Structure 1
Amino acid sequence: MIRQAVLEYDHADDALDRLYELVSGRRAHVLRGQNGYDVVRDIYPAITDYPTTQFRGECTDAEVERLKQKDIDVLIAIGGGKLVDTAKLVAYQCNVPLIVIPTLASNCAAFTPLSVVYRKDGSYDRYDIFRVVIERVIVDPRVIARSPYEYFRAGVIDTVAKFYEARYLSGDSSIDAGVNTGLALAEQCGRLVELDLSKAAFESYSDDIRFAVDHVLAVGGAVGGFGDAGTRVAVGHAVHNALSRFASTHAFLHGDKVGFGLIVQERLRRSADASYLEAWLKRFGAPTTLETLGIGPDDIPVLVDSVMTETELQQLPAPLNRGYLKIIFENLQLSIYK
């Protein structure tokens, strides 16, 4: 099934300035994050015309229930991925359209018809797919350029993961038109490793950065929208979900943990890309060992069990080899791969 949630995507130097016309007198309510809202307010002071509710930081069932709104015509989400995922569920359950103003280029939440839901302790629970209408994603460089570089870096890694996971699931091509389109988009995402996405480039908002932002926020989300289960998540995200059970990993961003999961996935595939990918992640400042993530040797059996449980819920082309998975984790405890 092909699913797309976004009617309009506006990445322009004055994108925020068109918000008033889009709302057009409707009763709007803003779900706001802790930091990015102030940046938006500095650039677009009229945002204070709309009532707001503060997001508490996790996309949980309890948080969605708390944030349900009555007597509104449109919900405006201003923040990062977990806030946007929460806003999509709120908009869906309240049957109102959504406008998304990302304050971070850290994931594709603004473009996908799904939400990643967590438990109260911060560990991964599930992801829900549902129909949601996002009227417009408003990407304003004046906002994104003032966000922390580390979030952009993690977003790029998560977007590059679209290529590796889609290829793992469906190979290089498919007779299914939706999956084949998803694979083509995923290949574009994989090419982000060739660009200058350094901190200096990010702060200057270079052409490479603008191109990457579009892939992080939009194109990456469209991969799963077209390819569905044939391109959506594989071992990389299964490892992320398993890692989220360990408190030591909660300080790391989603993309950082997915990047480590990609190393595991490509080692499982015995892929020639594994060493190149690991070297790129190191240059990008992402964690490439379990030690860095705070996972000790005694934790590996639990980690293996968790990954095996996660992958049983996915449509992988073949079951994982538990013994080989354990060996890979043991080798990545520090780093002995050459």
Structure 2
Amino acid sequence: MFTHRLVFPASVLRGRGAIKHLGAMCGRLGQRAMLVGGKRAIASVEAKVADQLEQQMVSYLGSEIFNGVCCQEEINRLADVFRTQGVEVIIATGGGKALDTAKAAGVACNIPVVTLPGIAGTCSAVTSLAFRYHQNGEFRNMMPLSSGPAAVVIDADLLATSPLQWLSAGIGDTLAKWYEYRAISDLSQLTGLAGVARTHSELCYTLIRHFAAGACFAVQDGKANNALEQVLDAIFLYAGLTSVMSNGAHTGASHALYEGFTACPKTRHIPHGLLVGYGNLCLLALENRSDDELLAALALARASAIPTQLAHIATGLTEQDLAVIIDRSLTTPDMANMPMDITFEDVRSAVERVEGLGAKIN
């Protein structure tokens, strides 16, 4: 009999000022803490992290800068640093790639990880998965981890000060939970867990449809509001629970196209969620959704600063570039999750339809 293993984060703190509880969280896990993340992410939180640790008499071992790619070589490097420094608690900050790398290195060393997302680009902060890449940035695989974060600290005040493109990326990635899960799930075969995952994914869509505009305004203003908190819950909690409930088997053509984009040097640097967000639109076209439904999805994407045309992603994309992207997407496990066979011509036609309809709303 198949055993479905669910790995939840041990504790989640969310809301404005949540970072004020970081020290107490870490103090229960160990006495020697290290901060890991990108240079900008570390700079934005290090003083608060150090103060929190000092209040709880937890030794702060300093910070370690993440190299920007969640590859096996970087996972191994960080694991060696943690072992050498005698780290007992890892505090991971930044975006999904930094958090995924720290989570994977923590699992390798059996050291608890506290995630403190510095941007709201994905649900990585709460999941027991790592999106792993090759050193050049091309997608490699989605790697399951044996344990999830020991604690998650989602501070709306902190996230309100991040650049808007990262919230837009998080919205794009979170909308995929609904668009993809709806596309690949069979309503007549839903088990309890699948039903919960589908319900969470639809809640993600509903919250974003109602609150995305207000959340984007909050980030532009640099001050958290209720709309931002609702969207952060969708990005981290409900999208994360969809991932947990489905063990990662909730993806389809949107993520397949993202993986295709990472095969092209012109587009692999674009944030994950922005590429997934464009992939969502192509997914709807692949499903032969009506023009009205596609136009509504395009309008929501546009209002959330998600690319609605290839030119918004990168300039100078050629037919050869697009062929590389599509060919790579067709070989991914995510595309194999789709309930029908997808061909190169299907994807090319979907892109053309999105391009044409997208031009009408710009």
- The alignment's TM-score, normalised by the length of structure 1, stands at 0.92
Asked if structure 2 preserves the Cα contact closer than 8 Å seen for 1:174 and 1:180, the reply is no
Aligned partner of 2:203 among 181, 188, 202: 188
The aligned counterpart of 1:270 is 288
**Mapped pair 1:3 → 2:23:** no
Give the letter for the 2:64 counterpart: T
Residue 228 of structure 1 corresponds to 247
**What does residue 230 of structure 2 align with?**
211
Per the alignment, residue 52 of structure 1 pairs with 63
Deviations 1:181-204 (A, max 9, x none): 000000001111222335323333
Aligned-pair CA distance for 1:331: 4.3
Task: Output the amino acid matched with 2:76.
Answer: E
Distance 1:297 1:197, change over 3 A: farther
Post-superposition shift, 1:78?
1.7
Match of 1:110, SS? Answer: helix
- The amino acid across from 2:224 in the alignment is Y
Structure 1 unpaired stretches of 5+: none
Q: Specify whether residues 336 and 23 from structure 1 end up closer, same or farther in structure 2 by C-alpha distance, changes over 3 A only.
A: closer
Q: Which position in structure 2 is the counterpart of 1:86?
A: 101
Q: Select the structure that is richer in helix.
A: 2
User: Could you tell me which of 73, 76, 79 is aligned with 1:62?
Assistant: 73
Give, as a single letter, the amino acid of the residue that structure 1 aligns with 2:62. Answer: P
Does the CA-based 8 Å contact 1:124-1:241 persist in structure 2? yes
Query: Where in structure 2 are there 5+ consecutive unaligned residues?
Result: 55-59
> What is the aligned counterpart of 1:128 among 133, 143, 157?
143
Give the match for residue 114 of structure 1. Answer: 129
In structure 2, the CA distance between the partners of 1:152 and 1:228, relative to structure 1 (3 Å rule), is same
- Contact 1:88 1:115 survives alignment (8 Å): yes
Task: Report 1:1-338 matches (<5 A).
Answer: 1-24=4-27, 26-46=31-51, 49-68=60-79, 69-70=82-83, 71-172=86-187, 174-191=189-206, 192-195=208-211, 196-202=213-219, 203-228=222-247, 230=249, 232-272=250-290, 273-294=293-314, 295-311=317-333, 314-332=336-354
Q: Please give the secondary structure, in 2, of the residue aligned with 1:137.
A: strand
Structure 2 distance, partners of 1:304, 1:250, is 14
Question: Which sits farther off after the overlay, 311-320 or 153-162?
Answer: 311-320
Contact residue 126 and residue 148 of structure 2 kept, 8 A: no
The C-alpha deviation readout for 1:215-239, integer Å capped at 9, x for no partner, is 1122111102112355x21000000
Q: Deviations over 1:143-185 (max 9, x none)?
A: 1122112101110111111000010110456431111100000
Query: Residues 299 and 51 (structure 1 numbering): CA distance in 2 closer, same or farther, change over 3 Å?
Result: closer
2:141 partner amino acid: R
Q: CA deviation at 1:10?
A: 0.3
Q: Cα–Cα, structure 1 residues 121 and 187, in superposed 2: closer, same or farther, change >3 Å?
A: same
The question of whether the paired residues in 1 share the 8 Å contact of 2:156 and 2:224 is answered with yes
Give the CA deviation at 1:205: 1.4
Tell me which moved more, 293-302 or 129-138.
Answer: 293-302
Deviation at 1:284, TM superposition (A): 2.4
The residue type paired with residue 159 of structure 1 is T
* Letter paired with 1:3: L
CA contact (8 A) 1:290 1:332 kept: no
Q: What is the SS of the residue equivalent to 1:270? A: coil
Tell me: CA distance 1:16–1:284, structure 2 relative to 1, closer, same or farther (3 Å): closer
Q: Which range moves more in the overlay, 169-178 or 250-259?
A: 169-178
Compared CA separation, residues 73 and 290, structure 1 to 2 (3 A): same
- Confirm or deny: 8 A CA contact 2:160 2:218 kept in the other structure: no
Task: Please tell me the residue identity of whatever aligns with 1:258.
Answer: V
Distance across 2 between alignment mates of 1:114 and 1:108: 10
Q: Could you tell me how far apart the structure 2 residues matched to 1:267 and 1:259 are?
A: 13
Deviations 1:77-125 (A, max 9, x none): 1221110000111011111111111111111001111100111111111
Is contact 1:180-1:227 (8 Å) kept? no
Taking structure 2 as the reference length, the TM-score comes to: 0.86
Give the distance between the partners of 2:334 and 2:193, measured in 1 at CA.
Answer: 24
Q: Aligned pair count?
A: 337
Change (3 A) 1:277 1:312: closer
C-alpha displacement of 1:254: 1.0
**Identical counterparts, % of pairs:** 23
Change (3 A) 1:95 1:212: same
For the structure 1 residues 72 and 38, does the alpha-carbon distance in structure 2 shift closer, same or farther, using more than 3 Å as the test? same
CA distance in 2, matches of 1:133, 1:303: 32
Partner of 2:57: none
Mark the CA change 1:292 to 1:139 in structure 2 (over 3 Å): closer, same or farther: closer
**1:18 alignment partner AA:** H
How far residue 256 of structure 1 moved from its aligned partner, in angstroms, is: 0.9
User: 2 CA distance for matches of 1:254 and 1:118?
Assistant: 12
